[in-house]
Each structure stands twice: as structure tokens, then as C-alpha cells.
């Protein structure tokens, strides 16, 4: 299909007919989710056949121009469309079944139509989660990482290769991002955590780091991007929001999730158990790992949480929930990084 609706209101009956093979008599949509880089909606379609309404989920480029521009600059929309279209069907990680996936050539707009996974319980970055939720998420991380672990067929995909130009742009913009973060959150974020953010910004500006290509990495593996008790509780969990998919080391997702995602109290109490669970899941999927083997990469992964909080806060639409979210991310990631010496590991290379 050469054209696609860039916004929910652009959809026509004929378009539904082409995508679904039948035309609804009427439909409506409502916003769902809390994403700031893409806009997610739920469609309710009535086909007039007496069978009741059908619901589908959709995702589009952010209406906010700041968020949309950042996403286009980093190639986020193109990555998500390619993931759902080209990779998701072959991976055991639970994601929504995709009915339509298309993007503009300039990467500034896209359209995704999925199965509706509701009723479901959305993860809440600010509220944290239970140990059971954290365990379910760690298992899904292994389901993403293990099939791609040192697999040249996946690691060689051209559209997943890191962009030197995008990396250079992020590096150039990072001092500005840290300045905005400092101005916005000084007095709200603990001083020792802000000091760590400042130190990371200085190291980032002074060094060129090449990421290790070991596996697929979700890149934003946290509670707001997870759904629990999907399909009315018939399934445990699904993973959403694949805009930040990249190649790197899978433990980046684990350090990010345990740092940014689950709350520091839960992380401190169950860190070892969750790392052991990840290693057991990876081993069962054919990638033998132990806690000692993954420890360094896990600890380094926390810094991805710090930098993501700083950069995202500066260059996406500002909202009250966004402020609370970025503070939560930075607080948890900085706590992990300080406890385990992430910056020192980074400086040693």
C-alpha cells in the first residue's frame, strides 16, 4: 500500500476495508498509554454484523513537534516499523500481532495497527511493580536476547546498524541536555544523583565509545513499555514500544530495567535473584550465563538509564507525568550506579 494514514482521524472506511478485508459501519478511537515519542490509540469498530464491536490498537508519530523531530532524527519510527514487520514474527518475545505497518521515507511519520491486548494492566514506571511482575519482565528480556545472541543473521541486519551520524549528534547535544536537566531538576533530584549525572555528561563528552554487538537490545525496557495480565489475564505479559531497538549487549536492558524500572527497594532486596533468573532463562534458551559473567555488563547498563533520563527529559514534550517519570528513572539508575561503581567501570573501559 503506497499511502497510509498519518493520524487516527485520517483513516477512511476504504482503508479499513483494504487492511481488514471488511468495512466497518462506524468506528471511534481514544488515546491510550503514556508515551511521549509516539501516540497510541484504541480503535473500536462496529461491523454491523451483530457480533459486537472489535477493538484494535494503533500507533502514530507524536503530535508534538519536539517529540516527533527527536524521533525522526534518531530513526526511532523506522526502527519500530521494521521490528514489527521484519523481526517480531520470528522472535519468542511476546509482542502484539501486527496487522499493518508502514512509514514515510523521511522517517517522520508512520502507522502501526495491532491486535488489542486488553483488558490488561499497564506497567507504571512511577508506581513501581511487584516481584512477580519483575520476574515476568526478566523472562521476556531473555526471550529477546537469547535468539539473537551472537547470531550473525540478526546482528548483520543493515537497518539495525548504529548510525555514526546519529551517535555524533547525540554526543553533541548531550551537554545541552544535561544543562536543561540540571536547571529543571536541581532541588528535586538528590544532590549526589545530580553529581553523578554531571560526571556522566563530562565522560560522555570526552570519550568515544563503540558499543559491543552481542544481541538485540530493546533500549527502553521499563514498566511503562510493558503490559501485564494481557487478554484479561489469560497471558502474563507483553513488551511494547520498540522504537529504541538496537544492537548492543543484552545486559544493558537488565541494568536499565532493574535500575530505572522496578524501584530501588525492590531492586536491592531481589537483585541477585533476578539476575540469577535471567541467567537461568538464557541458559535454558541455549546461552549459558552465570551471575559472575554478566555482572559488569549489568552494572554498566545502569548508566544507560541515567543518560536516557537526561536526554529524553530535554528533547521530548514536557509534561507533569514526564517530569515525575524522568526523575524516577534517574533516581533508580543513579542509585544502582552509585552502589556498584558504574562510573568507575566506565572510566576503566
Any idea which architecture 8-115 has in CATH?
Answer: 2-Layer Sandwich (3.30)
188-217 pLDDT, tens digit each: 999 999 999 999 999 887 777 677 899 999
- Asked whether 117 and 104 are in contact (CB, 8 A), the reply is no
- Cα 153 from Cα 247, distance rounded (Å): 12
- Asked whether 242 and 79 are in contact (CB, 8 A), the reply is yes
227-246 pLDDT, tens digit each: 999 999 999 999 999 999 99
48-98 pLDDT, tens digit each: 988 889 999 999 998 888 778 877 877 889 899 999 999 999 999 999 999
For residues 3 and 141, which has the higher predicted lDDT (pLDDT)?
A: 141
CB atoms within 10 A of CB 95: 21
Cell numbers describing residue 222: 521499563
Q: How many C-alpha atoms does 160 have within 13 Å on its Cβ side?
A: 24
Share the mean pLDDT of the chain.
92
Where along the chain do its domains lie?
A: 8-115, 121-348
Q: What is the pLDDT of residue 71?
A: 79
- Asked whether 148 and 216 are in contact (CB, 8 A), the reply is yes
- Cα 117 from Cα 135, distance rounded (Å): 20
- State how far Cα 159 lies from the chain centre: 18
- Rounded mean pLDDT, 247-272: 95
Q: What is the pLDDT of residue 228?
A: 98
Q: How many C-alpha atoms does 86 have within 13 Å on its Cβ side?
A: 14
Task: Say if residue 2's pLDDT is above 80.
Answer: no
Nearest Cα residue to 327 out of 223, 192, 210, 189? 189
For residues 139 and 34, which has the higher predicted lDDT (pLDDT)?
A: 139
- Cα 41 from Cα 116, distance rounded (Å): 10
Q: What is the pLDDT of residue 97?
A: 96
Task: Say if residue 349's pLDDT is above 80.
Answer: no
Task: Say if residue 1's pLDDT is above 70.
Answer: no
319-348 pLDDT, tens digit each: 898 899 999 999 999 999 999 999 999 888
Nearest Cα residue to 257 out of 197, 298, 202? 298
How do beta strands 26-32 and 38-46 pair?
antiparallel
Q: What is the pLDDT of residue 166?
A: 77
Task: Say if residue 34's pLDDT is above 80.
Answer: no
Backbone angles phi, psi at 11, to 5 degrees: -75, 140
Place of cell 459486537: 52
- Asked whether 123 and 228 are in contact (CB, 8 A), the reply is yes
- Asked whether 60 and 29 are in contact (CB, 8 A), the reply is no
Order of strands across the sheet that contains 110-115: 26-32, 38-46, 54-61, 110-115, 98-103
Q: What is the pLDDT of residue 170?
A: 82
The CA-atom distances, in angstroms, between 150 and each of 156, 221, 230, 279 are 10, 20, 31, 16
pLDDT-above-70 percentage for the chain: 98
Cell numbers describing residue 34: 503514556
The model's pTM is 0.91
Query: Predicted confidence band at 149 (pLDDT cuts at 50, 70, 90)?
Result: very high
What number of H helices and E strands is found in the chain? Answer: 13, 10
Crossing angle between the packed helical segments 65-74 and 164-185, to the nearest 10 degrees:
140
Q: What is the pLDDT of residue 52?
A: 85
Residues forming beta bridges with residue 140, ordered by sequence position: none
**Three-class secondary structure of residue 293 per DSSP:** helix
The CA-atom distances, in angstroms, between 256 and each of 193, 201, 241, 345 are 16, 17, 15, 16
Q: What is the pLDDT of residue 180?
A: 95
Task: Say if residue 153's pLDDT is above 90.
Answer: yes
**CATH fold label, 121-348:** Aminoglycoside 3'-phosphotransferase; Chain: A, domain 2 (3.90.1200)
Amino acid at each position: 500500500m503506497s499511502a497510509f494514514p498519518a493520524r487516527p482521524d485520517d483513516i477512511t472506511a476504504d482503508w479499513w476495508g483494504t487492511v481488514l478485508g471488511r468495512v466497518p459501519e462506524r468506528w471511534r478511537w481514544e488515546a491510550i498509554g503514556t508515551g511521549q515519542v509516539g501516540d497510541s490509540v484504541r480503535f473500536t469498530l462496529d461491523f454491523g454484523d451483530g457480533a459486537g464491536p472489535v477493538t484494535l490498537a494503533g500507533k502514530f508519530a507524536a503530535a508534538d513537534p519536539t517529540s516527533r523531530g527527536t524521533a525522526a532524527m534518531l530513526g526511532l519510527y523506522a526502527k519500530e516499523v521494521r521490528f514489527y514487520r521484519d523481526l517480531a514474527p520470528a522472535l519468542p518475545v511476546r509482542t502484539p500481532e501486527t496487522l499493518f505497518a508502514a512509514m514515510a521515507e523521511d522517517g517522520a511519520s508512520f502507522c502501526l495497527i495491532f491486535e488489542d491486548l486488553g483488558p490488561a494492566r499497564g506497567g507504571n514506571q512511577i508506581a513501581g511493580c511487584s516481584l512477580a511482575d519483575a520476574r515476568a519482565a526478566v523472562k521476556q528480556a531473555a526471550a529477546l536476547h537469547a535468539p539473537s545472541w551472537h547470531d550473525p543473521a540478526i546482528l548483520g541486519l543493515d537497518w539495525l546498524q548504529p548510525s555514526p551520524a546519529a551517535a555524533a549528534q547525540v554526543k553533541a547535544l548531550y551537554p545541552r541536555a544535561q544543562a536543561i536537566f540540571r536547571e529543571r531538576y536541581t532541588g528535586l533530584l538528590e544532590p549526589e544523583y545530580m553529581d553523578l549525572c554531571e560526571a556522566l555528561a563530562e565522560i560522555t563528552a570526552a570519550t568515544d565509545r563503540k558499543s559491543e554487538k552481542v544481541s538485540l537490545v530493546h533500549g527502553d525496557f521499563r514498566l511503562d513499555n510493558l503490559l501485564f495480565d494481557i487478554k484479561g489475564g489469560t497471558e502474563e505479559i507483553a513488551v511494547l514500544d520498540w522504537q529504541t531497538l538496537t544492537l548492543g549487549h543484552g545486559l544493558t536492558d537488565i541494568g536499565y530495567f532493574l535500575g530505572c524500572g522496578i524501584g530501588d527497594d525492590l531492586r536491592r532486596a531481589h537483585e541477585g535473584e533476578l539476575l540469577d533468573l535471567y541467567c537461568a532463562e538464557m541458559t535454558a534458551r541455549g546461552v549459558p550465563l552465570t551471575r559472575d559473567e554478566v555482572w559488569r555488563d549489568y552494572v554498566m547498563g545502569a548508566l544507560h538509564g541515567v543518560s536516557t533520563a537526561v536526554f529524553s527529559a530535554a528533547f521530548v514534550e514536557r509534561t507533569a507525568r514526564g517530569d515525575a517519570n524522568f526523575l524516577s528513572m534517574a533516581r533508580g539508575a543513579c542509585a544502582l550506579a552509585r552502589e556498584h561503581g558504574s562510573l568507575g567501570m566506565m572510566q576503566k573501559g
